[in-house]
Amino acid sequence: MQKRSFFERLTGAVKLEDENSLPEMGAASHKIHPSILEEEEEGQLTVDVYQTASEIVIKTMVAGVKPEDLDVAITRDSVTIRGKREEDRTTSAEDYFHRELYWGSFSRTIILPEEIDVDEAEAIEKYGLLILRLPKVDKNRQTKLKVRGQ
């Protein structure tokens, strides 16, 4: 069995066998080979990462995943998003003509270009879009420290 391509792992698409090796069933009735579905790989989320003057923003699509099934771990210099998209198994594999949606575990780790304030970070999910707002650490910020006598 060949290793899945980067695009297939990224999107969760499955590659059908060469058309010449498929049974003669007509173009519209090609079935997915069962061994392809048994492969358990973790999918990788696609993300947009950008900055404003005060924060780094990460956006990713997590449609079909409940907010409580998402795990977002952050440090001052990285973010890891993990989750699992559960498939509604009311249709058997042999009844599919085409299958591109990704089902199963996924994760993505992003190394941040600047340090962030972990305590002020927030995650919002709206209509399947996960938005992480990560305030940048202000390295130029100064404060007065009061000296206490003993």
Domains of the chain: 6-18+28-135 (2.60.40.790)
Q: Report residue 130's pLDDT band, with 50, 70 and 90 as the boundaries.
A: very high
CA atoms within 13 A on the CB side of 36: 19
Which residue spans within 8-150 are E strands per DSSP?
A: 43-44, 47-51, 55-61, 71-74, 78-85, 104-111, 122-126, 129-135
pTM above threshold 0.85: no
pLDDT at residue 27 greater than cutoff 50? no
- One-letter identity of residue 78: S
Selection from 52, 43, 38, 45 nearest residue 12 by Cα: 43
pLDDT at residue 25 tops 50: no
Confidence at 131, pLDDT banded by 50, 70, 90: very high
Residue 118, both tokens: 């972990």
Residue pLDDT, tens place only, 46-98: 999 999 999 999 999 998 888 888 999 999 999 999 998 887 778 887 888 88
